[in-house]
A = this chain, B = another copy of it.
Amino acid sequence: MHGSQDAAADRRSPLALKLAAFVRLKAEELAQLERLQRRCRRFDAGAELLHETEVGAKAFILEEGWAVSYKSLADGGRQVVDFQIPGDFLGLRSLLLRMSDHSVAAVTEIVACEIDAAELQNALATAPRLGMALLWAVSRDEAMVVEHLVGIGRRAPLARAAHFFVELHQRLQLAQLATATSYACPLNQYLLADALGLTAIHLNRTLRRLRERGLMTLKAGTVTIHDVAGLTALAEFESGYLDQAPPSV
């Protein structure tokens, strides 16, 4: 019995692990959650899962790999809204708003489980605490977007980049995908530039400055932080919005 419980815990999805930071889910609720993650599919790197202005779009739960959500402009410009790592939702808003307001693409090869509005509504009606958990996850995502907005609107490029890499580091550590000083980061400089509201050229120079100051290095898809305290200080990073604490519900 104890052995089988351990086995079940091992099989827990990244999403369940993430939600565990907010609400201590009961077995029944966990089962509901896993039931949402049956229809898993694999997507190639670069594949577009969702396109802005699409109506009646699906949403996904990301199990493996990295994804990116972004909006495109008429002049060819692109703004990356956020990157998603295992345990994150992809395109959840397009289930509720009738038209997808953004695009989602796979950065690396990914595995993601499709969910539709009916399933979601059903799960919420059956397990109301799951609804709270979902509201929490959405709120946390929004808090990250808000922090991103502050960075682009009011932080200088160097601090902005620092903040971005520190946030990513924290998120990956929570998902057990980073060590204390480094993590794999499959984002190229075009993606990073579109996330940080800079040109790729200027981002490159910004990265160089971070390197020259002995704070961090991005090389061959790996971020190495040489001075965690220094980088965090430069970023004025306040981790409160990530809400990483023991469950409160």
Contact = CB atoms under 8 A, between A and B. Distances in A.
Interface residues of A, number: 50
B152 A93 contact: no
Nearest to A137: B96
Interface in A57-97: 71, 73-74, 77-79, 81, 92-93, 96-97
A143 B236 contact: no
Contacts of A9: none
B96 A139 contact: yes
> Which of A74, A101, A132, A243 has most chain B Cβ within 10 Å?
A101
Interface in A127-171: 128, 131-132, 134-136, 138-143, 145-150, 152-155
| A-B pairs, 5 with minimum CB distance | A153-B197, A101-B241, A99-B240, A97-B243, A79-B150
A121 B133 CA distance: 11
A175 B132 CA distance: 28
Contacts of A142: 93, 138, 141-142, 145
Q: Is the interface of A mostly helix, strand, loop or mixed?
A: helix
23 contacts: A73-B150, A73-B236, A77-B154, A79-B150, A81-B146, A97-B136, A97-B143, A99-B240, A99-B243, A101-B143, A101-B241, A102-B146, A121-B132, A124-B131, A128-B128, A135-B138, A138-B142, A141-B142, A142-B142, A142-B145, A145-B146, A152-B153, A154-B197
Nearest to A155: B73
Interface in A204-248: 236, 238, 240-241, 243, 245, 248
A26 interface: no
A125 interface: yes
Contacts of A53: 238, 240
Nearest to A71: B150
A39 interface: no
